C-alpha cells in the first residue's frame, strides 16, 4: 500500500490551514517574547528538566511555540511549510494536527529523559518539525530535495542523513560533556515518535483495506449463493423416479461385501429413500 495516498482531500495548497495556523501562533508568541513579559513567558513556557524545579505539566506543549531568536523561528517555520504543506494536503488538516503534536510532545518526553540533571530549558518546534521531515521522507522517498539549493538528493537519503547527524551529535556532545544549546535528543525523539506513529497508522490503514476487501468478497459470495439457491431448491424438490427392488438388492449386496463406506452418494440417497418408504 502506498502510504502517500491514504488521504487526498484535494489538490496541493500553498498554505494549508494547519500550517498557516501553526506559523501564525509561533510568530505571535515570538512577538510576545519581545515584550516586557517575554522573560516570564519563556520561563513558564519553556521545557525545563524535571529535576530543575521549574518543570510544569503544560511545558511539553508550550515549548513548541517558543524560540530562541528570529533565525531559529524563521528556519523552523520555513521547514514546516516546505515539508509540511504537501503532507497536510494528502492527510487532511485533522490528521496532520494530530501527527504534529504527537511528534512534538513525544520529542519533549524523550528530551526530558535524556537531559535529566541538565539545568537548561528547551524551546522550539524542531522536535515536531523533525517528525514532519521524517513523514515527508516516508511519503515521498524518491522526491529530490536540493541541498543548499544546488545539489539534488533523494528525500529518503536526505532524511536519513539528518537522523544520522543528530544521532552522532547528540551522543557525541553527551559523551564529551559539552553544553550544546541544540536539543539533538528532541530532534531524534520527534523522528522516532513520527516513525512509530506512521508505522502503526499504516498498519491500521492496511487492516482497514483488508477488511474492506473481505467484506466485498463476502458480499460477492452471498450474491452468488442467492443466484444458485433457486435452481438448487428446484432440483431438490422435483419428483424423482422410485427406487426399484433390484437396485436395493444390489446396494445391499455391496454393503455386505465392502461395507457401507463403499457406497456412493447416489446409492446412499436411494437406500435412504427406500428405507423411508418401508
Q: What is the pLDDT of residues 67-111, one digit of tens each?
A: 989 999 999 999 999 999 989 998 899 999 999 999 999 999 998
CATH superfamily assigned to domain 17-214: Rhomboid-like (1.20.1540.10)
Q: Taking the domains of the chain in order of start, what are their residue ranges?
A: 17-214, 241-278
Examine the pLDDT at 169 and tell me if it is beyond 90.
no
Quote the mean pLDDT of the chain: 78
Examine the pLDDT at 219 and tell me if it is beyond 70.
no
Give the pLDDT score at 19. Answer: 96
Give the list of residues 6+ apart from residue 24 with CB closer than 8 angstroms, or none: none
Give the pLDDT score at 220. Answer: 57
The closest of 190, 202, 193 to 166, measured between CA atoms, is: 190
Distance CA 90, CA 100 (A): 14
Chain centroid to CA 127: 18
**What one-character DSSP code corresponds to residue 115?**
T
Please tell me the pTM assigned to this model: 0.66
% of the chain at pLDDT higher than 70: 69
Cβ pair 152, 145 in contact under 8 A: yes
Give the pLDDT score at 171. Answer: 52
* Residue 238 exposed, middle or buried by CB count within 10 Å (0-12, 13-18, 19+): exposed
* Residue 251 cell numbers, joined: 446396494
The closest of 45, 42, 41, 74 to 57, measured between CA atoms, is: 45
Beta-strand relationship, 144-147 and 151-154:
antiparallel
Cβ pair 146, 157 in contact under 8 A: no
Examine the pLDDT at 34 and tell me if it is beyond 50.
yes
Give the pLDDT score at 177. Answer: 42
Q: Where would I find the H helices in 92-116? A: 93-114
Give the pLDDT score at 166. Answer: 65
Give the pLDDT score at 10. Answer: 45
Highest mean pLDDT among 18-32, 79-93, 151-165, 253-267 belongs to 18-32
Examine the pLDDT at 189 and tell me if it is beyond 70.
yes
Give the pLDDT score at 148. Answer: 66
Give the pLDDT score at 70. Answer: 92
Amino acid at each position: 500500500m502506498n502510504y502517500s495516498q491514504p488521504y487526498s482531500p484535494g489538490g496541493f495548497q500553498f498554505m494549508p490551514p494547519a500550517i498557516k495556523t501553526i506559523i501564525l501562533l509561533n510568530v505571535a508568541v515570538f512577538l510576545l517574547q519581545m515584550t516586557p513579559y517575554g522573560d516570564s513567558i519563556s520561563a513558564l513556557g519553556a521545557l525545563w528538566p524535571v529535576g530543575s524545579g521549574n518543570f510544569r505539566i503544560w511545558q511539553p506543549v508550550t515549548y513548541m511555540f517558543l524560540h530562541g531568536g528570529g533565525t531559529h523561528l524563521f528556519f523552523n517555520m520555513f521547514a514546516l511549510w516546505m515539508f509540511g504543506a504537501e503532507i497536510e494536503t494528502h492527510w487532511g488538516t485533522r490528521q496532520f494536527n494530530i501527527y504534529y503534536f504527537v511528534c512534538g510532545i513525544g520529542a519533549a518526553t524523550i528530551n526530558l529523559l535524556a537531559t535529566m540533571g541538565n539545568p537548561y530549558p528547551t524551546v522550539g518546534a524542531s522536535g515536531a518539525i523533525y517528525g514532519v521531515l521524517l513523514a515527508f521522507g516516508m511519503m515521498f522517498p524518491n522526491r529530490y530535495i536540493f541541498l543548499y539549493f544546488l545539489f539534488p538528493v533523494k528525500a529518503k537519503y536526505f532524511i536519513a542523513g539528518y537522523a544520522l547527524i543528530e544521532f552522532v551529535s547528540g551522543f557525541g556532545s553527551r559523551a564529551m560533556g559539552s553544553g550544546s544549546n541544540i536539543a539533538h535528543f528532541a530532534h531524534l525523539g520527534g523522528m522516532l515518535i513520527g516513525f512509530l506513529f506512521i508505522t502503526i497508522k499504516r498498519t491500521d490503514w492496511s487492516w482497514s483495506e483488508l477488511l474492506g476487501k473481505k467484506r466485498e468478497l463476502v458480499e460477492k459470495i452471498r450474491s452468488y449463493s442467492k443466484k444458485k439457491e433457486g435452481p438448487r431448491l428446484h432440483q431438490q424438490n422435483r419428483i424423482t423416479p422410485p427406487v426399484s427392488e433390484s437396485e436395493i438388492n444390489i446396494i445391499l449386496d455391496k454393503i455386505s461385501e465392502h461395507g457401507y463406506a463403499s457406497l456412493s452418494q447416489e446409492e446412499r440417497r436411494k437406500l435412504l429413500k427406500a428405507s423411508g418408504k418401508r
